[in-house]
Chain A
Amino acid sequence: MGKNLVGNHIRRLRFNQNEMTQQQLADKAGVTRQTIVSLEKGNYSPSLELAFRIARAFGLPLEEVFYYEDNEGGNAP
């Protein structure tokens, strides 16, 4: 697998949101728990639509949930 350049803060955000479970987030975003697991592990870059749905589940703008990291420095935290 190639390196996944789209990172996310899903794990931290779940923790901050009253320790939301992966299943609860999956239900809110309309995906399976497997997809949340893969996203948290950094094994999967979501579609734009799913990224928006996850951001909406947290009530945050997209860029506060996901970030893009490239070889030129990127904007990872």
Chain B
Amino acid sequence: MTYQEKKSILNLISAILIFTVYCLYRYPQHPEGGLESADTFRYWGSFVLVLTAVTLVAHILISIVFNIVFRMTTGEKEPTFEDELDKLIRLKSIRNSFAVFVLGFLLAMASLVASEPSPLMFMILVASGFLSDVTGSLSRLYHYRRGV
């Protein structure tokens, strides 16, 4: 298995782990009271912002550790540049990822139109962000293994 394939699998696993652990940690902190209270909006705002920061930092740390382990176990250096295949696959994975997020965004807006409680809209947005990340990693893995 090549560096890119291993990296795609790692990104997929780490995205799932980070999101699951973060949700398990934050879910019990959901404010009591009315669904439309100011606390609820503050909670979801901080949920998304902290999740973004945590995901970013965790991905960087995991990537550094992975590169060190990769060098130690294989004796190879990780590629330091993107060639034409990498660029093509990145574009395709971003396209798929974006499509999933847009679908989730539209679903979130539809929930508002249907007069569903606003926390549901936030949940759909957060879930679509997570699913788009997973879709991106899966697409990358698929194209590296099966071609473009």
Contacts and interface: CB of A to CB of B under 8 A. Distances in A.
Q: Is the interface of A mostly helix, strand, loop or mixed?
A: loop
A31 B85 contact: yes
A32 B76 contact: no
Contacts, number: 48
Nearest to B83: A31
A42 B144 CA distance: 12
Given A32-B83, A32-B86, A47-B84, A4 B147 contact: yes
A33 B2 CA distance: 8
A34 B147 contact: no
B84 A34 contact: no
Interface in A2-17: 4
Interface of B: 2-5, 76, 79, 81, 83-86, 144, 146-148
Given A44-B85, A47-B84, A32 B147 contact: no
Contacts of A38: 85, 144, 147
Q: Which 9 A-B pairs have the closest CB atoms?
A: A43-B147, A31-B83, A32-B79, A34-B2, A35-B85, A34-B4, A1-B147, A32-B83, A44-B147
B73 to A, nearest CB: 16
B3 A1 contact: no
Contacts of B86: 32, 34-35
17 contacts: A1-B148, A32-B3, A32-B4, A32-B79, A32-B83, A33-B2, A33-B79, A34-B4, A34-B5, A34-B79, A34-B85, A35-B83, A35-B84, A35-B86, A38-B85, A42-B147, A44-B148
Contacts of A23: 76
Given A44-B85, A46-B84, A47-B84, A34 B3 contact: yes
- Interface core residue of B3, B147, B148 (most chain A CB under 10 Å): B147
Nearest to B4: A34
B95 to A, nearest CB: 16
A43 B83 contact: no
B93 to A, nearest CB: 14
A26 B45 CA distance: 46
